Structure 1
Amino acid sequence: MSNGIGKEFMEKTKYKYMGESDQEKGIPQPPLELEYGDDAILIDLPSVENIEIKGMDLKEAIESRKSLRKYDATSLTIEELSYLLWCTQGVKRVASRPATLRTVPSAGCRHALETYLLINKVDGIKPGLYRYLAIENKLMQLSLDPEMAEKVAYSCLEQDFIKNSAVTFIWSAVIYRMKWRYDERSYRYLHLDAGHVCQNLYLAAESIDSGACAIAAFDDDEINDLLGLDGENQFVIYAATLGKKIL
C-alpha cells in the first residue's frame, strides 16, 4: 500500500497530534453563523410549526430512499423548502453556551456548516443562489445570475441533472467554528457532520414525494470561487440535488 495523502491525513488527525485548542487557551469562540450586511436581501421562510407534511413511517422512508437524478418539472412549494432546511440544519434553540441545538448532530455542537442553495424551481422564489440563515429561518439572496445553474453544474464536473433539480443544496464548512475546539481533528468531524445532514435530506425528501442525489464530485476551486469562498477558512464540503419524483 502506498503512503498517499489520504493515509497521511488519517495519521496526522489522530488525537495524539492534537495541540492545545483555542478554546483551551481561553480565546472567545467564533460566531454561531456567518454575519451579513444591513443591505442584505432577506426572504422570510414559513415556520416549521405551521407546515403540514404527510405522515411517513421511518422504516418506509429508509426502504424507499435512493439516489434520484431525474426529476419532474413540478416546483417545490416554499413550505416544502422550509421543511427541508429545517430537517437538515434547523435550529431548535440557541443554548446559553452559546451553541445552536439543531435537527442534526454535530461534533461538540459546533455546527460548522453553512447551507447554500441553487434554487431553480421553488414557488415564490426567483431562481438563483441563496444562503440559508438557520437561526433566523430566512434566505439571503446572493445572485440572480440566469446562468447560475449552468455554472454550478459545470463546477460539479458537468453533472447536468443539477440544472433540472428543483433545488441543489451546497454545504460549506467554516473551519474555525470547529477548529476552535478540536484543532486538526476538526477536518474529520466536518465530513461526518456533512454525512448526517445529507442523510436527513434523503429521508425528508421521501415525505414530500421527492428524491435527492448526493454529490461529492466537484472542482473544489471552481465551486468555492463561484460561491465567493476562499477555500481555506470556508470551503464547499458536500452537495445534493433534489426534485419531485416523476410519477
Structure 2
Amino acid sequence: MQRTEFGNQPPSDQVLGRPPPPLELPYTKAETTISLPAPGDITIPAVDLRDAIEHRESVRNYAPEPLTLAEAAFLLWCTQGVKRVVDGTFTIRTVPSAGARHAFETYLLVNRVEGLAPGLYRYLAVEHRLAEESRDPGIARQVAAGCLNQPHITESAVTFLWTAVPDRMTWRYGERGYRYLHLDAGHVCQNLYLAASGTGCGVCAIAAFDDAAMNRLLGIDGERQFLIYLATVGKKP
C-alpha cells in the first residue's frame, strides 16, 4: 500500500503520451461467436431497489432450473455492458471504473443455460457476444478444484470469472492502478448481486482460489492477465 501511495510512482504511460491498450482482448480462436439478445429486447421483472438491497445475501444452494439465454445476457450486460465507445479509447459501461479504464474480461462457466452448450465462454463486451473457449466436459470440475473444491461451482447454472488486464489501468495510473482493479471488481460483483434479484437468482462471490492453477486453466499468464474474482449464479430453490 505504501509503494502505491499517490506520488510514489514514475509518470504513467498516458502522461508520457503512449497510446492506450486495446479496449478488449482479441478473439483469435476459429469457432464462431454467439449472438446474445440485445439489452433493450430483454424483459426482466421489475424489482424495487430498496428490496434488492435489503434482501441481498450470498446464496450457495441452487435449483436445477436453467437460466434462459436472455437472463444470462442480462446479467452479462449489467456487469460489463458497453453503453458507448468514446473515440475508440475508452468505454462507458453499466458499472463504474477508475478513469473509465474497464480493465476486466468476463469468462462465463455455463452449466445450465437454455440454448448454450455447457462449457467455458468469454463475453465480448464491445460486441455483446459470447466466444467459446472450451467445451471440455470436465471444465466445471476443474474450475471447482481451482477454487478449493467449493461445490456450488458445479451446482450453479453459471459462474462468472473476471480477469484483470492491468495494462488498461496502469496505462493511466501506473502501479497505483492495481488498487483500482480490486475496487472495480467490487463494483462489478455488486451489480451482479442486485441484477440477479430480478431473475430469481442467487449469487455467491468467491475470492478463495489457487491463482496459478486458475490462470493456467484459463490459458492466461498471471501477469498481463490474471483472475481476480468469481461469482456463482443459479435459480433460488
SS in 2 for 1:26: coil
Runs of 4+ deviating beyond 6 Å: none
User: Is residue 128 from structure 1 mapped to residue 126 from structure 2 by the alignment?
Assistant: no
User: Is residue 17 from structure 1 mapped to residue 5 from structure 2 by the alignment?
Assistant: no
Shift of 1:160: 1.1
User: Is residue 214 from structure 1 mapped to residue 214 from structure 2 by the alignment?
Assistant: no
User: 12, 15, 26: which is aligned to 1:35?
Assistant: 26
2-side partners of 1:75 and 1:48: how far apart?
A: 20
The answer to whether the 8 Å contact 2:71/2:199 transfers is: yes
2-side partners of 1:156 and 1:36: how far apart?
A: 26
Identity %: 59
User: Is residue 88 from structure 1 mapped to residue 87 from structure 2 by the alignment?
Assistant: no
Counterparts of 1:191-230 in structure 2, within 5 Å, are: 191-230=182-221
Q: How many residues align?
A: 237
Shift of 1:95: 1.1
2-side partners of 1:33 and 1:233: how far apart?
A: 13
1-side partners of 2:6 and 2:31: how far apart?
A: 41
Give per-residue Cα distances to partners, 1:80-121, cap 9 Å, x unaligned.
000000100000011126211000000000000000011000
Amino acid at match of 1:16: G
Give per-residue Cα distances to partners, 1:161-183, cap 9 Å, x unaligned.
10000000000000101111110
User: Is residue 163 from structure 1 mapped to residue 154 from structure 2 by the alignment?
Assistant: yes
Give 1:177's aligned residue: 168
2-side partners of 1:36 and 1:146: how far apart?
A: 22
Shift of 1:237: 0.3
Give per-residue Cα distances to partners, 1:108-150, cap 9 Å, x unaligned.
0000000001100000000000000000000000000000000
User: Structure 1 residues 85, 95: CA separation in 2 closer, same or farther (over 3 Å shift)?
Assistant: same
The answer to whether the 8 Å contact 2:22/2:89 transfers is: no
User: Is residue 44 from structure 1 mapped to residue 35 from structure 2 by the alignment?
Assistant: yes
TM-score (norm 2): 0.98
Shift of 1:18: 1.8
Which segment is superposed worse, 111-120 or 10-19? 10-19
1-side partners of 2:75 and 2:29: how far apart?
A: 27
1-side partners of 2:93 and 2:85: how far apart?
A: 9
SS in 2 for 1:12: coil
2-side partners of 1:151 and 1:77: how far apart?
A: 24
Shift of 1:16: 2.1
| Gap regions ≥5 residues in structure 2 | none
SS in 1 for 2:2: helix
Give 1:234's aligned residue: 225
User: Structure 1 residues 70, 189: CA separation in 2 closer, same or farther (over 3 Å shift)?
Assistant: same
SS in 2 for 1:11: coil
- Superposed CA RMSD: 0.8
Give 1:112's aligned residue: 103
User: 33, 38, 44: which is aligned to 1:53?
Assistant: 44
1-side partners of 2:95 and 2:166: how far apart?
A: 18
2-side partners of 1:206 and 1:65: how far apart?
A: 8
Counterparts of 1:145-164 in structure 2, within 5 Å, are: 145-164=136-155
TM-score (norm 1): 0.94
